[in-house]
């Protein structure tokens, strides 16, 4: 393996790792605030790509019906809960959040299908259509069991993933898609040629990571999310609603998932079930960060991308095995450290 090949593989790995960074950070964010290991995170990314591909070809994406059905069901559940608690004043706000806004997004998407929009607006339309899906699923599936154990929440999350995969096959069929490239430019540095798509991926990951840093450290919204992640009971006593914080976490996570899917779609064929592997590889990076540290999660996700790139060069058939084998020493190391910390606390 020459130095040029090493450099090319490293650059490709960093670009792939940048995709995993967005998904991994979103996974950690949702887990920190809601205690849900959100398995369908990758499905949101895949559905965004498939929705964008349908919009580009002028077809009606099946996700329109999904959003409408979820909005109606979430509204019925929320309004019924408010009526049981005699909280009548909150019903208009619930109708606005769970019914009017999602249906407004659906209407805009339907209008966009009749127009020949430029690519940036098509991307924004696909993102906007997918953003409500995770918060609506949270209201329907996870919020009624919010106080359950992490294991039960994980089982429900896995079941939800399989349900979404089945719906994805129904909506989009078994064929894979690739969206139009975001740019055709390239940059040549010595013997190495950098594609503009890879540069956009890395730049987008850096910008979104910086935006999240600013959000968490310099805004009241971000501080409320951090407070909920640290102590849900304490946050509630300080006037922060954990349910609302969870909704915000799902919205931010959906944006990250959608952007990651759109960035990777021009270079990888996306199928209705492609989200599982994407989410699982990002989860390895999240585990490296202990499902708590955002910088460690980002570094872990980049490490996964680089390892996958070099593993693909050595053996494309075994690249996934090599990447997922990384979990074994990491989990053993964390298990040993956790037991030591417990012993120290008991002494």
Q: Work out the number of other CB atoms within 10 angstroms of the CB of residue 89.
A: 8
pLDDT at 67: 93
Show the 3-state SS of 167-206.
Answer: HHHHHHCCCCECCCCCCCCEEEECCEEEEHHHHHHHHHHH
Give the DSSP per-residue string, 112-142.
HHTS---HHHHHHHHHHHHTTHHHHHIIIII
Q: Work out the number of other CB atoms within 10 angstroms of the CB of residue 4.
A: 11
Q: Work out the number of other CB atoms within 10 angstroms of the CB of residue 60.
A: 13
List pLDDT tens digits, range 127-143.
Answer: 999 999 999 999 999 98
Residue identified by tokens 């039960």 is 152
pLDDT at 236: 76
Cβ–Cβ under 8 Å, residues 264 and 274: no
The torsion angle over the Cα atoms of residues 191, 194, 265 and 39, rounded to 10 degrees, is 90
Half-sphere exposure of 168 (CA within 13 A, CB side): 27
Bridge partners of residue 177, in order along the sequence: 270
Cβ-based burial of 215 (10 A; exposed 0-12, middle 13-18, buried ≥19): middle
Q: What is the pLDDT along the chain (347 residues), one digit of tens a residue?
A: 677 778 778 888 888 888 888 888 888 888 888 888 888 888 999 999 999 998 888 888 889 999 999 999 999 999 998 898 888 888 898 899 899 999 999 998 888 888 888 888 989 999 999 999 999 999 999 988 888 888 899 999 999 999 999 999 998 888 888 888 777 777 777 666 677 777 888 888 888 888 887 877 778 877 787 777 777 777 777 777 777 888 888 998 889 888 888 988 888 888 988 888 888 888 888 888 777 777 888 888 888 888 888 887 777 677 777 777 777 787 777 777 665 444 333 33
Q: Under 8 Å CB-to-CB from 101, ≥6 apart: which residues?
A: 132
Q: The tokens of 304 are what? A: 């996964």
pLDDT at 341: 41
Could you tell me where the beta strands, DSSP code E, fall in the chain? Answer: 186-189, 192-195
């Amino acid at each position: 393996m020459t130095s040029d090949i090493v450099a090319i593989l490293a650059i490709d790995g960093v670009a792939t790792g940048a995709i995993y960074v967005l998904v991994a950070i979103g996974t950690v964010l949702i887990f920190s605030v809601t205690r849900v290991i959100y398995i369908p995170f990758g499905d949101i990314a895949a559905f965004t790509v498939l929705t964008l591909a349908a919009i580009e070809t002028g077809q009606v994406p099946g996700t329109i019906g999904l959003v409408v059905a979820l909005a109606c069901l979430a509204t019925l559940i929320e309004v019924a809960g408010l009526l049981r608690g005699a909280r009548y004043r909150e019903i208009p706000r619930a109708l606005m959040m769970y019914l009017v806004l999602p249906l407004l997004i659906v209407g805009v998407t339907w209008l966009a299908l009749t127009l020949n929009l430029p690519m940036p607006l098509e991307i924004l339309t696909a993102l906007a259509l997918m953003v409500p899906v995770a918060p609506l699923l949270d209201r329907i599936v996870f919020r009624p069991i919010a106080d359950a154990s992490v294991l039960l929440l994980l089982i429900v999350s896995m079941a939800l993933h399989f349900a979404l995969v089945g719906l994805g096959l129904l909506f989009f069929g078994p064929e894979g898609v690739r969206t139009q490239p975001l740019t055709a430019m390239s940059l040549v540095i010595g013997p190495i040629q950098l594609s503009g798509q890879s540069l956009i991926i890395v730049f987008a990951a850096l910008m979104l990571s910086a935006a999240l840093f600013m959000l968490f450290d310099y805004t009241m919204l971000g501080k409320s999310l951090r407070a909920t992640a640290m102590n849900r009971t304490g946050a509630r006593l300080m006037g922060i609603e954990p349910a609302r914080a969870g909704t915000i976490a799902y919205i931010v996570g959906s944006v990250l998932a959608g952007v990651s899917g759109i960035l990777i779609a021009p270079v990888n064929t996306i199928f209705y079930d492609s989200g599982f592997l994407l989410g699982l590889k990002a989860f390895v990076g999240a585990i490296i960060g202990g499902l708590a540290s955002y910088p460690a999660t980002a570094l872990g996700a980049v490490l996964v991308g680089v390892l996958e790139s070099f593993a693909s060069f050595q053996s494309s058939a075994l690249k996934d095995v090599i990447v997922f084998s990384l979990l074994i020493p990491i989990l053993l190391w964390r298990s040993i450290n956790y037991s030591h910390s417990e012993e120290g606390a008991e002494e």
